[in-house]
A and B are shown apart, each in its own frame.
Chain A
Amino acid sequence: MRIILIILIPLLVLSCKKETVHLSTNTDEIFWLSNDSADMPVWVKGNTASRVIILFLHGGPGDGSYRYAGFQTDQFWSHFAFAYWDQRDAGAAAGNSNYSNLNLGQMIEDLEKLISVLKYRYGSDMEIFLMGHSFGGLLGSGYLVKGNNQNNIRGWIEVDGAHDYPESNTLERQMLIDTGTSEIAKGHYVSQWTPIVNYCIANPANISLNVDLLTDDYASQAEDYVDINHTGTAIDYFSVSSPISLGINLFYLYNSATGRQFLQSLEPMTYTDQLYKITIPSLLIWGQYDLTVHLGSGIHALNNLGSTYKHLVIMPQSGHVPMNGNTDLFAQTVISFIETVR
């Protein structure tokens, strides 16, 4: 009995601890949002005293956000705070039987509630910037075009965002064919490019989920065959997020019937025709050699956004993850944007 008490008492003391939220130049804390059977962690890191939080919407879907903490985002932490949110059923997010709620509409609702929590926790005067990468570009666009949501957001930063899946799939395939053909003609990575080009020629985009997923894999693989930077910054798998939960969430998403049903539901999703509704300051950042979500999507978004202040910045040595390809330029661009529009 004594042993049981020795174990339980510290646990109870810890669990009863009340956390007081203070703004700080060196914030490092986590909180959770529980919504519709999913419990989603939000890791806040950096300078909350700046009264600016960049809320990061990770891609994938299913990638988890903590892995982006390793891409030298410490450059941001001294200026602003970063909020790394793991979306439902991704990264370290947990819950019991919640897959029936996995859909884009639910995720937009999760984001709406998360913004409410951020305002509640850090104060309603906290300026929130949304940064959506890849699938996060679709999620962020979906949030911003809905109702008055953009009133809660100071600025929109889309990084190689897939706000238009059919367009992304079409451009991705064409980019792989064009780049691959050109590289083969130069004699670069001929044996690697040949099957990619042949596959893309044989399989048009947007005809099946399997084709589009395999084309995504080829695009990711092909980044190794073009001359772009990979800073190789250590991915911070072990500090906050478990590689096991990250891996198992990804595995189930891409291999279960329900997960694939969700992925299938994303295939026709596009917000291009609604981008005019977004009027807040917007920054579009694209990797010049992004083979997954082509630069053309960025140019198209720039033309369609309703914002008065909107810029497209191209990262010259980057692929799909410019935080990795042009780390310093990426940080300077974002910091400069926020300082200008806040």
Chain B
Amino acid sequence: MNQLLQALKTNYAIPVDDSVSGRLHLLYCKSMPYTHLKVLFCLFSLLLLFEVGLQAQDSLYKVRMPVFVRSSFYYDFPQSFGASAGVDFPVRTKVIVTTDKKGEPSLKFRDLIVAGDIGFYRYLYNNSGLYFFQSLGKRYHKNKPYYHEWLARVGLLRTFYDGIVYTVDANGDVKMLNNFGRYYLATGFAAVFGYDFERSKKPLPVAIDARSYIWIQYPYNSFVLPHLSFELSFKYHCDKFNIAIKKKQIEENLIK
């Protein structure tokens, strides 16, 4: 079987799905004109049918998954506004195929995702912040366009005070400090709720989502400063950024 699958490696333009099922589909298409390949395909498919009777089946293989680039409008309570840009990419995915008592299959997806964000905000008369965050979390979705995510984030925040910053040295001379601010460590959590148009009836390579963050900057006056932030994000799926990741499939059969 490995030889067979190896033989199917091709430069064909659209093997978007490099998984076993994707290759099988390609094999089927390519074997149609050749009888002996068609027979082989049918035999191979027959082998797969033997797995159907199992109560649960785990399998692990690679699939190509979309990477999203993202731009967002940012709001930090009470009145900081800004923008951010980021990239979301999956590092592992799990599909749970459940067959209910009526024999109807349903799919649940659990994607382990990594995200990177860079952005800024401005709090007029207070300070501006430039931040970088790295996030790790899970995306949950079914075979519907809606999804939600939970992310843990760590990052670095650099503030710049709004207005001139002065300092006075030991001689009493006043000096201005250019672009003065402070560095802070930052960490927090994010909750995301979104809509992926790629899984809608008329697929488009975009998604939108709303994000809420609770995070702290540290050390702030020897303590922490909590933040409550919100983002409205527009995400675009670039085909050329698709990456191959491990996909684990779990099949659950509720029919006894």
Contact = CB atoms under 8 A, between A and B. Distances in A.
B219 interface: yes
Interface in B123-148: 123-128, 130
A234 to B, nearest CB: 14
Contact of A34 (B79, B165, B221): B165
Interface stretch (B13-21, B30-38, B179-187, B196-204): B179-187
Contacts, number: 132
Nearest to B223: A252
Contact of B78 (A31, A242, A256): A242
A309 interface: no
A67 to B, nearest CB: 14
B127 A116 contact: no
Contacts of A98: 221-222
B227 interface: yes
Contact of B130 (A11, A117, A121): A11
A43 B125 contact: yes
A342 to B, nearest CB: 24
The main secondary structure of chain B at its interface with chain A is: strand
A100 B161 CA distance: 23
Interface residues of B, number: 47
B6 interface: no
Interface stretch (B51-59, B60-68, B95-103, B167-175): B167-175
A242 B126 contact: yes
Nearest to B126: A92
A29 B219 contact: no
Interface string B95-124: 000000000000000000000001110111
A14 B163 contact: no
The CB with the most chain A CB atoms within 10 A, among B159, B182, B220, is that of: B220
Interface stretch (A128-136, A243-251, A290-298, A330-338): A243-251
A120 interface: yes
A244 B177 contact: no
Given A15-B160, A32-B165, A258 B222 contact: yes
A195 interface: no
B223 A248 contact: yes
Given A7-B83, A16-B179, A32-B165, A243 B78 contact: yes
A105 interface: no
A38 B180 CA distance: 12
A193 B71 CA distance: 58
Interface string A100-142: 1000000000000100110011000000000000000000000
Given A99-B222, A244-B226, A33 B125 contact: no
A66 B83 CA distance: 27
A98 B182 CA distance: 12
24 contacts: A3-B71, A7-B84, A7-B119, A30-B125, A32-B161, A32-B180, A33-B165, A33-B167, A34-B166, A38-B221, A39-B165, A39-B180, A39-B182, A92-B126, A95-B221, A97-B222, A99-B222, A113-B168, A240-B124, A240-B125, A244-B225, A244-B226, A248-B225, A252-B223
A109 to B, nearest CB: 9
Contacts of A202: none
B126 A252 contact: no
